[in-house]
Amino acid sequence: MTLGNKIIKERNKNGWSQEELAYKLGISEKSVSEWESSRSVPDLQSVILMAELFGVSTDYLLREDPFSEDTSAAYTDESVERAETVRRVSMEEANEFLDMKRKGASAIANAVSMCITSPVPVVVLGVLAKSGIINIKETLAGGVGAVFLFCMVAAAVVMFITYGIREGRMEHLEKESFETEYGVIGMVKEKSRSYEPVFARGMAIGVALCILAVIPIIVAGALEVSEDITPLFAALLLILIAVGVNMMIRVGIVNDSYNALLQKGEFSKSEKRSKGKRSLVSGVYWALVTAIYLGWSFWTMRWDASWIIWPVAGVLFVAVSGVSKLIVERQR
């Protein structure tokens, strides 16, 4: 096995692209490409540094194994085939992906907020009709509120589907392994570092709003407000939760777009192999949660109490995700 083949083998074993290895060595991607194709050989300092990065000896890298010619040839053929099949992401494609995710983040965040606040018209109109502020029957107020609810949910579903279709042509960047052209990793890392304060601030404020959302209910109980007005405080709770979740989704999607191109975290090559099965579990889980929420809310008409399903479901989802990940990893 030649030095070039050994570099290819160890680089792939660590899940690094040519550009990432070049970055770690402080050289150009072209140099790594020439080493791997045996068009040139690295200097001694680069060999020593590669040995440290790969966790192997310099002797292993420099000594050719005369007993593995067939293996070397087979591996070379495999490497050529892999190079032909693995996608390469250009700078233009990477910027297009980041731009699409940034615009899509607003659409998805707003759609989720619309789903969360969809019961608000039902609650508000019901309270106004019951208190006599508006001169209509409670049944009519409930019917009008239900129309608003379904319209908001339908609009949100349209936004989900539209975004999903638009994102479909670039979903391979989140689901498949790929390599990047020169300069892409550096550009993404720079943007990711610049976005870190925005991400941290957005997540912190979003979580804080979700925690503080329960305050209206506490205030209603402390002031002993009448049962006719209490649902308004529940509506305010939903609005605060919607705003908090909106912020977290916006910054989360943008941050994930950087991780997807860097292939780290949940978008690493090992995670991508198991993500498909786990995403199915996630989809089924949240579909059931939504069905339970709407079913219970309409059956009891207690929109001021049914909101508790969402925080409970969120906590349980962490456990469900952990169990599904463990099961998938054991099946490998």
Rounded Cα distance, 233 and 85, in Å: 57
The tens place of each residue's pLDDT in the chain, 332 residues long, gives: 678 888 888 888 888 888 888 888 888 888 888 888 767 778 888 888 888 888 888 888 887 554 444 444 444 444 444 444 567 888 889 999 999 999 999 999 999 999 889 889 988 888 888 887 888 888 888 888 889 988 998 999 899 888 888 888 888 888 788 888 767 888 888 899 999 999 999 999 999 999 999 898 888 888 887 777 888 888 898 899 999 999 999 999 999 999 989 888 778 766 665 555 555 666 677 778 878 877 887 788 776 567 677 667 766 776 776 666 666 555 55
Output the CA torsion 172→178→182→188 (10° steps): 60
The structure tokens listed for 13 are 């074993």
Claim: this prediction has a pTM higher than 0.75: no
pLDDT reported for residue 14: 85
Asked if residues 144 and 151 have their Cβ atoms less than 8 Å apart, the reply is: no
Amino acid of residue 207:
V
Contact (CB, 8 A) for 301 and 123: no
